[in-house]
Chain A
C-alpha cells in the first residue's frame, strides 16, 4: 500500500471508501481532523456530515481550519438514510465538478433503531456502486465500543478499506456492492394486529388510498404539510403497484411512539437494488416515485423477493 497516505486515503483519481473503527472521542476527533486537514492541504473541498454533537467536537478541534469546511448535521440530513447519497454525498460532489472531494459521512450511530439499521447498512454498500467512477474519498466513522458487534462486522463488509488502532488495511470481508445491498434486503416484522388496513386494486382506487392516508395521518397528529407529504409518498407506492404489477396491493397504517407507519405490500419484485437511492435521471430505469418517497419520508425500508415486495415508511409525529 505504498500509495496510501497517512490517513488511509489514497492519491487522487479514484474512489476511496474508508471505514474507521474508533473507541473513544479522542481517537474519533484525532482521526477525522487528520483526514480533514489532509484534504484541505491538497486543496480539496471537504464536507463533514455527522450527527450534531460530533460536528461540534470536530469543529472545535479544527480551530481556524473549520472555516474551510462544510458541515452538515447528519441526524437531520440523514434522518432517512436512503436520501444521504443523493441529497448529501452526490449533491456535494455535483457542487464541485472536476475536483476530488473529501467527505466524512457518519450514517450509523447509537440510537439508530433496529428497523433503521438495515437501511443504513444498505446505504453504505450502495455508496461503493454509486461512487465507483467518482474522484472522491469518503470516511465513515463507526463507534466500535458503542455499536452492536453486527454493525461493526458489517462495516468491514461495506468498506474496502478499514482503519483502526493498528492502521489502514484492505478489508478481507469486503463484498461487492450488489451483494452488499442484497444482504440488507431483510424481512420486515409483521404489522401489528391493530393496524388499519385498506386493500386496493387498480388506479381508480388511488383516490381512496389517499383519502385513507389523509384520515389516519391527521388522526395521528401530523401537521397538514406532513399529511400532504405522506399522501404524495403513499400514492406513489400504490401507483407503482398498479403500474408495475397490474395486481392488487394492501396498505397498512399504525402508530408507534413518535412515528406514524405505513406499509404497502404487493406481488411485484424490485430488480434494481439502487432504485430510489440515486436521482432518477442517473438511474437506468425510472424510479422517480420511489426517489421522492425517500425525500419525503423519515425512513423507507424495502423488502423485495420473488412475487412480493413490502415497503414500509416512517414519518415522525
Chain B
C-alpha cells in the first residue's frame, strides 16, 4: 500500500494509522506500507510530467508483482496540485490516461480531491476522468460506477457497471489507449460489455467512434438488447447511410459462444 500525503505530514498519518490499531512499523518493515509526501511522487524533478508519471506507475506495479504481493493499493491526496502550476487540462489528461495502467485487475487507486479547496469546474473535469467517484459521507458499501479491466486474450477491455457523463472521459481515454496499443498489431479490439448495465448516448458514440478509428474494428461481446438498440439509434444519426462501414461487430449476451 502506497500512501501519498499532502495536507498532513507522513508522520501524522502514520500516527493516525497506529491509533487505529495498524501495526505501522511491522508493515513498513515487511515492505507492505509506504507513506511519502505527494510532491516526492508527482513532482520528482520539480515539475509534473504526466507521461513520465504514468511510466513510473508501470514500474511501481511491476515491482509489487515481483515482490509477490496479492495487489497494489494506492491513495493520493491531490491537494499538491493547488500549489503547482499544473493546469486542469493536464491533470484531467493524466487522470484519464493513467487508468490504462491501473486497469490490470491488480491495482486499486483512490485519488483524494478536497471538495472545499478545488474549484467546482476543475473538480467536474477531473472527476469525469475517473471511472467512479466516492461522494462525501458514503458508507462502506460504495462501488465504483464503472469498472474497466484490460484483457489480453483476446486483447481488449472488460467493462462493468454504468457509463454516463460522470465518467465518460475515463472510458474515452481507455478506448483511445487500447486502440493505440493495438494499432500496429492489426488485431480486433474486443470489449466485453456483459456486465455493463447502462450506457448513455455519449458512451454509445464513443464505442462507435472507436470502432471506426481502429482499422481492425471493434467487437462487443455480451451486448444487452438495450445497448444494441442504443448503438443502432446513435449510429443512424452519426453514420447516416454508412451502415456496415461502422467497423462494429456486436455479439449479443444470449448468443455468446
**Once the chains bind, are A235 and B164 in contact (CB under 8 Å)?**
yes
Q: Chain B, 219-242, contact with A by CB distance < 8 Å: what is the 0/1 string?
A: 000000110011001100110110
Residues of chain A at interface, number, CB under 8 A: 26
9 pairs, CB–CB < 8 Å, chain A vs chain B: A203-B165, A203-B166, A204-B135, A225-B229, A232-B201, A239-B202, A242-B165, A292-B233, A292-B234
* Nearest CB on A from B144, distance (A): 11
CB pair A207 B145 closer than 8 Å = yes
Within 8 Å of chain A (Cβ to Cβ): is B205? yes
Across-interface contacts of B238 in A (CB, < 8 A): 280-281, 288
Q: How far is the CA of A291 from the CA of B238 in the complex (A)?
A: 11
Task: Knowing A203-B164, A288-B205 are in contact, say whether A235-B234 is a contact too (CB < 8 A).
Answer: no
Indicate whether A129 reaches chain B with its CB closer than 8 angstroms: no
* Interface majority SS (helix, strand, loop, mixed), chain A: helix
Task: Give chain B residues whose Cβ lies under 8 Å from the Cβ of A210.
Answer: 162, 164, 198
Q: Which residues of the other chain, A, contact B241 by a CB distance below 8 angstroms?
A: 94
What are the residues of chain A within 8 A of B201 when measuring CB–CB?
232, 236, 288-289, 292
Assess whether B5 is interfacial by the CB under 8 Å rule: no
B127 contacts partner chain A, Cβ-Cβ < 8 Å: yes
Nearest neighbor of B120 in chain A, beta-carbon distance: A246
Residues of A within 8 A of B145 (CB): 207
Residues of B within 8 A of A243 (CB): 165
Bound together, the chains give a CA A296 to CA B200 distance in angstroms of 13
Provide the bound-state CA to CA distance between A203 and B145, in Å. Answer: 11
Task: Give bound CA distance, A279 to B237, whole Å.
Answer: 6
- Tell me if B24 counts as interface (CB < 8 A to partner A): no
Q: A203 CA to B120 CA in the complex, in Å?
A: 12
Q: Does A295 contact B (CB under 8 A)?
A: yes
Interface residues of B (CB under 8 A from A): 120-121, 124, 127-128, 133, 135, 145, 162, 164-166, 198, 200-202, 205, 225-226, 229-230, 233-234, 237-238, 240-241
Closest CB of chain B to A273's CB: distance in Å? 19
Cα of A206 to Cα of B124 in the assembled complex, Å? 13
Q: Is A228 an interface residue when CB atoms closer than 8 A count as contact?
A: yes
Instruction: Give the top 8 A-B pairs by smallest Cβ distance, nearest first.
Output: A203-B166, A228-B226, A239-B165, A203-B165, A206-B164, A292-B201, A279-B237, A235-B200
Q: How far is the CB of B88 from chain A (nearest CB, A)?
A: 15
With A94-B240, A206-B166, A281-B237 already in contact, 12 other A-B pairs whose C-beta atoms are closer than 8 Å: A203-B124, A204-B135, A207-B164, A232-B200, A232-B230, A235-B164, A239-B164, A239-B202, A246-B121, A281-B238, A292-B234, A296-B233
Given A204-B133, A225-B225, A239-B165, the answer on whether A279 and B240 have CB atoms closer than 8 Å is yes
Query: Cβ of A225: which chain B residues have Cβ within 8 Å of it?
Result: 225-226, 229
**Chain B residue with minimal CB distance to A209?**
B164
Does A231 make an interface contact (CB < 8 A)?
A: yes
Contact of B237 among A94, A206, A228, A288 (CB under 8 A): A288
Interface hub of A204, A235, A292, A296 (most chain B Cβ within 10 A): A204
A295 and B198 contacting across the interface, CB-CB below 8 Å: no
A249 to B: closest C-beta gap in Å: 13
Contacts of A288 in B (CB 8 A): 201-202, 205, 234, 237-238
The residue on B at minimum CB distance from A279 is B237
Contacts of B198 in A (CB 8 A): 210, 231, 235
Q: Which of A204, A236, A292, A296 contacts B166 (CB 8 A)?
A: A204
B237: chain A residues at CB < 8 Å are: 279-281, 288, 291-292
B87 CB to closest chain A CB, in angstroms? 20
Q: Which of chain B's residues have a CB closer than 8 A to the CB of A202?
A: 124
Please provide the chain A residues from 197 to 249 with a CB less than 8 Å away from any CB of chain B in the complex. 202-204, 206-207, 210, 225, 228, 231-232, 235-236, 239, 242-243, 246
Once the chains are docked, how many angstroms separate the CA of A295 from the CA of B128?
27
